[in-house]
Copies of this chain bind each other. A is one copy, B any other.
Amino acid sequence: MTKPLRIGIAGLGTVGASLARLLQTKAGSILHRAGRPIEVVAVSARDRAKDRGFDAGAMEWHDDPVTLAAQADIDGFVELIGGADGPALECVTAALKRGIPVVTANKALLAHHGVDLARLAAANGTEVLYEAAVAGGIPIIKTMRESLSGNDVTRVYGILNGTCNYMLTRMEREGLSFDVCLKDAQDLGYAEADPTFDIGGFDAAHKLAILTSLAFGTEIDSGSIYIEGIERVTSEDIAAAKDLGYTIKLLAVAQLTDTGIEQRVHPALIPAAAAMAQVSGVTNAVAVDTDLLGSIMLAGPGAGGDATASAVLSDIMDLATGVVLPTLGIPVDKLKPYTRARMRAHEGGYYIRLSVHDRVGAIAAIATRMAQNEISLESIVQRRSSGHGDKAIATVILVTHETTESAVRAALLSISEDGHLAGEAQMLRIEQLD
């Protein structure tokens, strides 16, 4: 096994450049661990002249990543271009058609085309590896594909977006507003100029779609995810949650229910004493509940050039062994169709914050509407009033025992129709962790 593993890298941004550097600077220890040298023999990037901190002298340069994938003399193809379609999809397809295994960090590609790519890989006797696509440096893909074999998963959930977690952590610790935290996240490079993809929950949803497939042996269905971002979480919610013994996190959850699988991304209250509640800043975490293990949790860096390159490198090391595992954990023809559980059937506790016209009987009417929908309340707190007389507005915070999403939505609709609300209701789900 001393024959080198020859790889081609398409995309030399932060991660690609870091990977190429590592393969040169750590060649010795990589050889010990992989059992054979790993050589970058071909690369593709837009700017050929740029100094990226590694010696590209002996590498074949391609202007077109698809040409690299289709023609270079390589044993593995590393796709670090990004994007669900276009060149990324084309070059990955080209490599797989030649039976060349693909390593990618591209969550959007997998969320949208994962099953097709897994099928193409299998048909050509190869596989796609994607440790870096979910939760960056955390080895959750290997854990789910290899370590949890034999476990029946009941739920997988986690903090999968560093931008949101950074913002929520600062809002909680410093009492800052959403807008101030967003601005800081943008200044620090944690959030894009258009932050919608992160704070809207879409980035976490892409990652969740992949985890769901691995957890339940189902086809990837990123179109069936209930998605709510953190835009409507206020510092008032965070403070109220803290008083109640909870922390607010943007959670991505896939959970087996009687009627199918729930896939949901939304801000959630989790117990402040849970280990995941301490996962702060840009750190990510993933937990898996199974029949054999109870619960395991992995936490670590969700992004960053070196951390992501480390994950890509671990996939490349796996290529060096020559083993081909099913891309999505089980053979692609054994994947079950994804069966969506209706979000309205979701069961759990709820945190509800209402702005209420402060009139005699308002609280009683609200409590009655809850009771009519068979919602049992754990607590009800009137926090303060603003304004005077007819203009007085009170903040009422309700925490429910376990109920259903449809009951809560029906109750809130009735309360709104009763004319008690001075503004839109805030409703956040409480996630039970063990």
Closest CB in chain B relative to A306 CB, distance in Å: 4
Q: Which residues of B contact A300 (CB under 8 A)?
A: 293-297
Closest to A318 in B: B146
Find out whether the CB atom of B278 lies under 8 angstroms from the CB atom of A34.
no
Find out whether the CB atom of B294 lies under 8 angstroms from the CB atom of A150.
no
Find out whether the CB atom of B309 lies under 8 angstroms from the CB atom of A292.
yes
Find out whether the CB atom of B321 lies under 8 angstroms from the CB atom of A325.
yes
Does any Cβ of B come within 8 Å of A388's Cβ?
Answer: no
Find out whether the CB atom of B138 lies under 8 angstroms from the CB atom of A296.
yes
Does any Cβ of B come within 8 Å of A196's Cβ?
Answer: no
**Of A33, A142, A309, most B-chain CB atoms within 10 Å:** A33
Closest CB in chain B relative to A313 CB, distance in Å: 4
Q: Which residues of B contact A295 (CB under 8 A)?
A: 300-301
Find out whether the CB atom of A307 lies under 8 angstroms from the CB atom of B329.
no
**Of A296, A298, A307, most B-chain CB atoms within 10 Å:** A296
- Asked whether A32 and B331 contact (CB < 8 A) given A278-B273, A323-B321, the answer is yes
Find out whether the CB atom of B323 lies under 8 angstroms from the CB atom of A307.
no
- A275 contact from B151, B279, B314, Cβ within 8 A: B279
Q: What 0/1 readout, one digit per residue, does chain A (324-337) give for beta carbons within 8 Å of chain B?
A: 01100111001000
Interface size class of A (residues with CB under 8 A): 35 or more
Find out whether the CB atom of A298 lies under 8 angstroms from the CB atom of B301.
no
| Cα(A291)–Cα(B307), bound, Å | 9
Does any Cβ of B come within 8 Å of A310's Cβ?
Answer: yes
- Asked whether A310 and B293 contact (CB < 8 A) given A32-B331, A323-B323, A334-B32, the answer is yes
Does any Cβ of B come within 8 Å of A372's Cβ?
Answer: no
**Of A137, A146, A292, A321, most B-chain CB atoms within 10 Å:** A292
A 279-294 contacts with B by CB, 8 A: 279, 285, 290-294
Does any Cβ of B come within 8 Å of A14's Cβ?
Answer: no
- Asked whether A147 and B314 contact (CB < 8 A) given A138-B296, A279-B275, A323-B322, the answer is yes
A interface residues, Cβ below 8 angstroms from B: 22, 26, 29-30, 32-35, 131, 137-139, 142-143, 146-152, 217, 273-279, 285, 290-301, 306-307, 309-311, 313-314, 317-318, 321-323, 325-326, 329-331, 334
